[in-house]
Amino acid sequence: MTDGSDDTTEDRELLSDRIRNALADEIATGKLKAGAALDEQHLADRFGASRTPVREALRQLAANGLVEVRARRGVVVSRMTPERIMDMFETVAEIEAMCVRLATYRITPLERSHLIELHDASEAIVKNGDFDAYDNFNRAFHEAIYHATHNSFLAEQAIAIRNRLMAFRRAQLQQEQRLDRSWAEHEAIMQAIAEGDGEMASRRMRAHMLNAATALRRFIEANKLA
Amino acid sequence: MTDGSDDTTEDRELLSDRIRNALADEIATGKLKAGAALDEQHLADRFGASRTPVREALRQLAANGLVEVRARRGVVVSRMTPERIMDMFETVAEIEAMCVRLATYRITPLERSHLIELHDASEAIVKNGDFDAYDNFNRAFHEAIYHATHNSFLAEQAIAIRNRLMAFRRAQLQQEQRLDRSWAEHEAIMQAIAEGDGEMASRRMRAHMLNAATALRRFIEANKLA
DNA sequence: GGCTGCTTTTGTGTATGCAAAAGCATCCCC
DNA sequence: GGGGATGCTTTTGCATACACAAAAGCAGCC
């Protein structure tokens, strides 16, 4: 949702939003490295725009924590140490665990059907080894859980924090067995939800997220990223 | 303490930041009501500035969720229904509970001393019935717990969400017995931390926050606010 | 009388210009 | 020779100007 990637109304998209998304993506993919200075005029030239929308984009990124503004001294990409990334992962893991606990107690039959449907459909994706499709499913699965908390503010926060972390998800599921194990962990979570055991669902979700984090950490250390 | 909020350099503060803070405060205190349109030129005149810094301030507020921008249709103050406020309170309560659980397992002796010191000092404040002082202590108390999680990202998120909710704190402790009860609840939380029982600390913290929320809800309903 | 199409008007989105601060390099003085 | 002052450059912060989209007002038409 609210992705903006496949917009048919491209001419309506604001230049500042385009720049913001582009910069966020470049920071996410590592094209713009941590600590790099972001010169307004330079960026304006690169995007064929003036400094005004660039500045607005940078301010929004700053509010999201992706860059830091030092008054009158320019903007730099926020430093992402391995420790900080692990902190972010732990935070997301805890929030996901919190969400699934609340969701277990509050999910409606209709929402439960939807979740089961999603989960069942994902089995075929795993068999095909389709990483991109699984990534999409995975997002839908977790967002369905956020939604089932029946706390829209919490759901928004969870999505926002998850999106910030998604900067580093590109490497997360690149290992085949991780995809299998991810599905198995989802299965275990689904079972706990079905049994109405929110605490167990919570523990399993936390473990699930930390497993993903560990896989990523190994990848980062192996490739000397960040 | 990578706080960075030592604002002794006021003259260097950017106009856009001043405007952002002023607007955030006005939204917080209800001066600017939910759904109100924010005209850029009008605001620029009010602050004796041009539209440029006003726009930047509005974009930052939008990134923080306090206002909503509708492309080419202006900016409005985000609607805060009672349900949404309760959702926010629940989210803060859950995050605080999460933090105190982690903090219980990770707090250092030095941090524990600091927390005990804070808590002990607050007893006098309660006896004096000094609401403002207690509010300050309360923030320090909770931030000390965030810090003790040894997860700086989580701490930042907790503070950010708490600040957003603080919009409505003005009414929170206006009832005298709530101040007493708040201290007693802190006492119970401290005990659980001392015993190293993170789960109990977590449950007590959640109850503590939800008690505050209930007190606020009663206030809102009684005064027909929001 | 209500709806539709045009016109006006208001306000956003972007560009450009200017002033001041930060970074720097050179130079002077001790 | 080193440290600090001084001017130059670069870049930010803010203001102003302009273009254009959307809402509002108005008139004519069905």
- Which of A16, A64, A157 lies at the smallest CB-CB distance from B161? A157
∠ Cα B25 B28 B33 (to 5°): 110
DSSP code of residue A172: T
CB–CB of B87 and A14 under 8 A?
Answer: no
Q: What whole-number distance in Å separates Cα of residue A197 and Cα of residue A101? A: 8
CB–CB of B63 and A65 under 8 A?
Answer: no
Positions of chain A with pLDDT under 50:
1-10, 173
B10-77 has CATH 1.10.10.10 classification? yes
User: Is the CB atom of residue A59 positioned under 7 angstroms from any atom of strand C?
Assistant: no
Min distance A55 CA to chain B CA atoms (Å)? 8
Residue A221 tokens read as: 């250390």
- Which of A64, A72, A91 lies at the smallest CB-CB distance from B154? A91
pLDDT for position A176: 61
Residue B199 tokens read as: 């789960």
Closest alpha carbon within chain A to B17: A71
Three-state secondary structure along A7-31?
Answer: CCCHHHCCHHHHHHHHHHHHHHCCC
Which nucleotides on chain C have any atom < 7 A from a protein Cβ? 11-17, 21-23
Among candidate residues A221, A41, A87, the one with its CA nearest the CA of residue B153? A87
Min distance A154 CA to chain B CA atoms (Å)? 6
Among candidate residues B119, B81, B17, the one with its CA nearest the CA of residue A59? B17
B82-223 has CATH 1.10.357.10 classification? no
Instruction: Considering only CA atoms, name the residue closest to the C1' of nucleotide C12.
Output: B72
**Interface with A, mutate which of B87, B106, B152, B165 (most A CBs under 10 A):** B87
**Interface with B, mutate which of A11, A14, A157, A209 (most B CBs under 10 A):** A157
Closest alpha carbon within chain B to A80: B153
Q: Which positions in chain B touch A153 (Cβ < 8 Å)? A: 84, 87-88, 90-91
pLDDT for position A6: 38
Closest alpha carbon within chain B to A57: B59
Q: Which positions in chain B touch A79 (Cβ < 8 Å)? A: none
A158 touches A99 (CB < 8 A): yes
Min distance A61 CA to chain B CA atoms (Å)? 8
Which nucleotides on chain D have any atom < 7 A from a protein Cβ? 11-17, 21-23
CB–CB of A87 and B59 under 8 A?
Answer: no
Q: Work out whether the CA dihedral A74, A80, A83, A89 comes out positive or negative.
A: positive
pLDDT for position B215: 81
pLDDT for position B221: 72
pLDDT for position A121: 94
User: Is the CB atom of residue A50 positioned under 7 angstroms from any atom of strand C?
Assistant: yes
Closest alpha carbon within chain A to B64: A63
Min distance B84 CA to chain A CA atoms (Å)? 7
CB–CB of A154 and B71 under 8 A?
Answer: no
Q: What whole-number distance in Å separates Cα of residue A60 and Cα of residue A109? A: 39
A44 touches A55 (CB < 8 A): no
Number of helices (H), then strands (E), in chain A: 9, 3
Q: What does the domain layout of chain A look like in residue ranges?
A: 10-77, 82-223
Per-residue pLDDT of chain B (226 residues; tens, 9 = 90+): 333 334 343 456 899 999 999 999 898 777 898 899 999 999 999 999 999 999 999 999 998 889 999 999 999 999 877 788 889 999 999 999 999 999 999 999 999 999 999 999 999 999 988 888 888 899 999 999 999 999 999 999 999 898 888 766 555 545 667 788 999 999 999 999 999 999 999 999 999 999 888 887 777 677 655 5
A97 touches A56 (CB < 8 A): no
Q: H-type helices in chain B, by residue range? A: 15-28, 40-46, 51-63, 82-106, 109-128, 131-148, 152-165, 176-194, 198-223
Among candidate residues B175, B163, B103, B99, the one with its CA nearest the CA of residue B134? B175
